[in-house]
Copies of this chain bind each other. A is one copy, B any other.
Amino acid sequence: MARIAVDAMGGDHAPLEIVRGAEAASSENIAEIVLVGDENAIAPLLAHSSAIEIVHTPVFVDMHESPSIALRRKRDSSINKAFGLLKTGSVEAVVSAGNSGATMAFAIFTLGRIGGVERPAILTSHPNAKGAASILLDAGGTVDCRPSHLVQFAIMGSVFARHALGIESPRVGLLSNGEEETKGNELTRETHAILKTLDLNYLGYVEGTELYNGRADVVVTDGFVGNVALKVAEGVAESMVAFLEGYISKQNVRDKAGQDLLSEVLKHLSLRMDYSEYGGVPLVGVNGVSIICHGKSDSRAIKNAIAQAKGFVGSGLNECIKDAIQYYASPKQE
């Protein structure tokens, strides 16, 4: 069984929801769990019969702490101890709902980047109109990007889509403010010029709608734009759900059958938008399997993230990324 370290202290609802999610994953035999964090806070939350191991450290990174300061001062934090366990081979993956900037910083520091990778990226999946998933990266890992970073995101996203989603020739688009070559900003124009020369299935510029209509399998952007895009999507979805809730409660629907029907629809719609369903998102480009969860994660999200992490253990994804990065970096024979 896969052995997975979970940062018990990271997340808005840590440690309670994290511990509960870990217990659920453990009791359902999804994985063998190591909880990293303050034993005094964790142990009382565990059942007596729990098979979960605790690796104790009283230090943890606050949700709003500066990643660079945490990196300097909190080497003994729960998140970095978790990566230490992964580094030494004591566990096979790390799951964290904590400060994502600090998680990323410690992943780079302790695990190191995959050979040739300049910057890691956070990779998110979006259910699209074709019943499949479109990938967005970077969703917030690296905010100030150079063209070479975006080119590597395109390569890593393409490898991920082939490897994890089984798409033979993933269509890769570069997120822009319009599809024409005359659009884009300085960063996208330089990136576009490079991507055109690589033998990726490159579509050129795509717009934000492309994340949802299924025309692109992989959408590439920097971590600033990617994160804004994610949060905007969350905002729109929440506002539409709130509109429907308001519609029901405002007595537009007077009969019980109609109210039940709308509540049912609302449940499906909310579930579709619910990050807890999906668990977490992988950090790609570092040596090891690392799943980053939403700060608001509840126990279900944590359990699903553990299951997700398990899926990547032993999958060979990182070796494929390494090979692809090297393949595209080496000069080609004409």
Could you list which residues of chain A lie within 8 angstroms of chain B, going by C-beta atoms? 64-68, 101, 127-129, 140, 143-144, 175-178, 180, 182-186, 188, 207-213, 221-225, 227-240, 242-244, 247, 253, 255, 257-258, 261-262, 265, 268-269, 272-273
The contact sample of 30 A-B pairs, CB cut-off 8 A, is A64-B180, A68-B182, A101-B182, A127-B239, A128-B239, A129-B238, A129-B242, A140-B177, A176-B228, A177-B223, A177-B228, A208-B227, A208-B228, A208-B230, A208-B232, A208-B233, A209-B231, A209-B238, A213-B235, A213-B239, A225-B228, A228-B229, A229-B232, A236-B237, A236-B240, A243-B269, A247-B268, A255-B257, A261-B261, A265-B265
| Residues in chain B near residue A265, CB distance under 8 A | 244, 247, 262, 265
Contact (Cβ within 8 A) A234 B257: no
A269 CB, nearest partner CB in chain B, Å? 6
CA of A224 to CA of B186, assembled, Å: 10
| Residues in chain B near residue A175, CB distance under 8 A | 228
| Residues in chain B near residue A129, CB distance under 8 A | 238-239, 242
A186 CB, nearest partner CB in chain B, Å? 5
| Residues in chain B near residue A178, CB distance under 8 A | 101, 227
User: What 10 A-B pairs come out closest when comparing CB atoms?
Assistant: A208-B231, A208-B232, A177-B227, A209-B235, A212-B235, A66-B182, A212-B239, A236-B236, A207-B231, A143-B185
Contact (Cβ within 8 A) A261 B272: no
Q: How many copies altogether?
A: 2
Chain B residue at minimum C-beta to C-beta distance from A188: B224
| Residues in chain B near residue A243, CB distance under 8 A | 268-269, 272
| Residues in chain B near residue A240, CB distance under 8 A | 236-237, 240, 269, 273
Knowing A186-B144, A247-B268, say if A212 contacts B236 (CB, 8 Å).
yes
A148 CB, nearest partner CB in chain B, Å? 17
CA of A71 to CA of B178, assembled, Å: 19
| Residues in chain B near residue A188, CB distance under 8 A | 224
A38 CB, nearest partner CB in chain B, Å? 23
Knowing A208-B231, A212-B236, A240-B240, say if A224 contacts B269 (CB, 8 Å).
no
Contact (Cβ within 8 A) A212 B238: yes
CA of A189 to CA of B271, assembled, Å: 36
Chain B residue at minimum C-beta to C-beta distance from A248: B265
A125 CB, nearest partner CB in chain B, Å? 14
Chain B residue at minimum C-beta to C-beta distance from A67: B182
Query: Quick one: which of B184, B228, B236 contacts A221, CB cutoff 8 A?
Result: B228
CA of A182 to CA of B188, assembled, Å: 25
| Residues in chain B near residue A176, CB distance under 8 A | 224, 228
**Which interface residue of A127, A211, A232, A257 has the most chain B CB atoms within 10 A?**
A232
| Residues in chain B near residue A223, CB distance under 8 A | 177
Contact (Cβ within 8 A) A211 B235: yes
